[in-house]
Amino acid sequence: MYILILILPLISSIFCGLYGRKLGYQGVKIFSCVLLMLTSLISFLCFFEVIILNSNIQFYLWSWFDLGLLYNNIQLQFDHIVCSMLILVTLVSFFVHLFSTSYMDGDPHLPRFMSYLSLFTFFMIILVTSNNLVQLFIGWEGVGLCSYLLIGFWYTRIQANKSAIKAMILNKVGDIGLLLGMVMIWYFIGSFDYNTIFSYSFFLSKENINLDLISFLLLIGVIGKSAQIGLHTWLPDAMEGPTPVSALIHAATMVTAGVFLIIRMSPFFENTPTILIVIVLLGSLTAFFTSSIGLTQNDLKKVIAYSTCSQLGYMVMICGFSQYNTGLFHLINHGFFKALLFLSAGSIIHALTDEQDFRKMGSMNLITPFSYICIVIGSISLMGLPFLTGFYSKDLIIELIYGEHYLRFALWLGVLSAFITAFYSFRLIHFTFFNNPQSNIKNFSHSHEGPWNLRLPLFLLLVFSIIIGYFLEYFILKDELPIIIENLNKFLPLIVSLIGSILSLILGFLLFKWWKLWMNSLNIKIYSFTNGAWYFDNVFNYYITSPIIKLGLSITYKLIDNQLLEFLGPTNVYNNFTKNSSKISNVHSGKLSIYVLLLIIFIFFSLIKF
């Protein structure tokens, strides 16, 4: 039965993609949603049997290749990590499918869209349930391909195509790092199986094998897929895709794959303490850096996208402290309230006929009251205020970091990021709901809440954003609960975090009330700097992309294409061949005397040789 968790999304993708016209417009909606609902129900059965009944399950499917030392089996593994992830992936995917039946209604390419969503889910389940790195890499590349297809779904839009290509290229940088790490693992260990890698890596660390290099290569894959600082620029541009795509990519699937890789390979990373410090530095800088960018964005979806980068920084950072269960806990909690934020934003954008700039909104709480409630609850959960889902994991991260005195910078960057998060969340709510209407009355005259299939996913995600953290805390963190309870006796970090968030809300209120007092030349420059995303794209374009293009032009085009290939290419070869063949054909004149002369010459040189 557990194999159905893979088969059902694949069937949905194949039938919606190839037979969508035969199923009909409504048939595609019903067919895909029913199969994804069944997939999520099976994930609950896995959760019950593995986590609640405390058992592990493995399925051997077939041997994919066996070339002596290089072999790999296709197997499914269901343990605590996998089943926790499956709850998030399948549930959010089902909600996104259901939401899309309303949001994308009227689009003539809806069958193709539903096919891509289901294929995305299929590859993510492959990634999560794998018991070896090769199988994980199949899912890893699969979600990268599907993200390209979904971001560029509206392929007639130039910006959507550019964003899809950018996401693909930047992810390929990370993919190369992961692939090189896999090659080195096979070279030193001789297997791609997780259990074998974990067993042998301990002995390799005693033999002075450079495990730090392997961990660093794996970390490059994490940086690309989970949008950490340096390779993060693709994530905000991915907002060019439809809003359900943003919810699926940024909440439950693609961006969490990098964090999942760290958690899955945690016994290996534990043998490389230097890389763990790098992970802490990387995660804390990402959390602060991207939250500062989200502070000055004006696109409703981009603010939420940068908050995703910031929260991914929290997850990576806490994994660097070897608190992998806490990282997984925050990953799952974040998936639910971030999906709620994206889909609620999509509901408002849909109501305003695709307007995404919240400076042109205002008073939307009167037009879309249910979406208003959802965004407020999602934002409060994102801030980590008691007692919503985000509070149980985000504040727990800060509390656990408090005890690590030798990495105090991570604590202050984490607290500062929480302060900024509360500020830009209030800014988003203020401009969207409490500000006076800022656009033409025509944009508001036909605005209204969506139908039931748009509101039902929001309601279910709203419930999960309130209660799921409380219920999952015991199942995911039960081994760490004594340590957590001991750390909770130190209330200082919790108080600092809460006070920081509350002060940020007050500061945000004062800023928007007396904004003219803040508008001096220095603040305008800071605003422009962070609004331009610290000019990372400009740096990449001028100092990396442009020199590589010029180098490629001079070497690849002018030297190789124009010189070498033209000289050795088919044109010159053909011309030389025809000229030489015509000269040789002169020998074949049909005269017997010439043939006798050639025979004598051949015999003469043969005798000289001997």
Question: What pLDDT, on the 0 to 100 scale, is given for residue 36?
Answer: 92
pLDDT, position 252: 62
* Dihedral sign computed on CA atoms, order 101, 105, 111, 113: negative
Q: Which helix (H) or strand (E) holds 36?
A: helix 25-47
Q: How many residues make up the chain in this entry?
A: 610
CA-to-CA distance for 610 and 599, rounded, in angstroms? Answer: 17
In the block, residue with structure tokens 């979904």: 150
- Residue 273, number of CB atoms within 10 A of its CB: 13
For residues 456-473, average pLDDT: 87
pLDDT digits (tens, 9 = 90+) for 540-570: 888 888 888 888 777 777 777 776 766 666 6
Q: Cβ distance 68 to 56 under 8 Å?
A: no
| Whether pLDDT at 439 is above 80 | no
pLDDT grade, residue 590 (50/70/90)? low
Q: Return d(Cα 103, Cα 244) in angstroms, integer.
A: 8
Please list the alpha-helical segments (H only) found in 403-480: 408-429, 441-445, 452-477
Q: What is the pLDDT of residues 352-390, one digit of tens each?
A: 877 888 888 878 888 888 988 999 999 888 888 877 888
The residues pairing with 58 across neighbouring beta strands, listed in sequence order, are 77
Query: Residues near 246 by Cβ (< 8 Å), separated by ≥ 6?
Result: 238, 239, 301, 304, 305, 342, 346
Q: What angle do CA 487, 483, 316 make, to 5 degrees?
A: 85
Residue 192 CB contacts under 8 Å (≥ 6 apart), including other chains:
72, 132, 133, 134, 182, 185, 186
Query: For residue 9, is pLDDT > 60?
Result: yes
Q: The pTM is what?
A: 0.86
Fill in the amino acid letter for 298: N
Residue that wins the pLDDT comparison between 521 and 321: 321
Contact present, 458 and 374 (Cβ < 8 Å):
yes
pLDDT score for 122:
93
pLDDT digits (tens, 9 = 90+) for 206-235: 666 678 888 999 999 999 888 888 888 888
DSSP assignment, residue 385?
-
Mean pLDDT along residues 416-428? 85
Q: Do the beta carbons of residue 493 and residue 402 sit within 8 Å? A: yes
All structural domains of the chain with their residue ranges: 1-231, 272-513, 519-568, 580-609
**Whole-angstrom distance, CA of residue 398 vs CA of residue 484:** 12
Centre a 10 Å sphere on the Cβ of residue 156 and count the other Cβ atoms it contains.
Answer: 7
Tokens of residue 42, six digits: 């099976």
Count of other CB atoms within 10 angstroms of residue 205: 16
For residues 367 and 448, is the Cβ–Cβ distance under 8 A?
yes
Instruction: Provide the pLDDT for residue 584.
Output: 65
What values do phi and psi take at 66, rounded to 5?
A: -145, 95
Helix, strand or coil for residue 104? coil
Retrieve residue 606's tokens.
Answer: 């043969």
Residues of the chain with pLDDT > 90, as a percent, come to 19
CB contact at 8 A, 192 and 72: yes
CB 76 within 8 A of CB 194: no
Three-point CA angle 577, 583, 584, nearest 5°:
85
Which one is predicted more confidently, 573 or 29? 29
Residue 294 burial (C-beta neighbours within 10 Å; 0-12, 13-18, 19+): buried
Q: How far apart are CA 38 and CA 46, in angstroms?
A: 13
Residue 556 burial by Cβ neighbours in a 10 Å radius (0-12, 13-18, 19+): exposed
CA 265, CA 280: separation in Å to the nearest integer? 16
**C-alpha torsion sign, points 142, 145, 149, 151:** positive
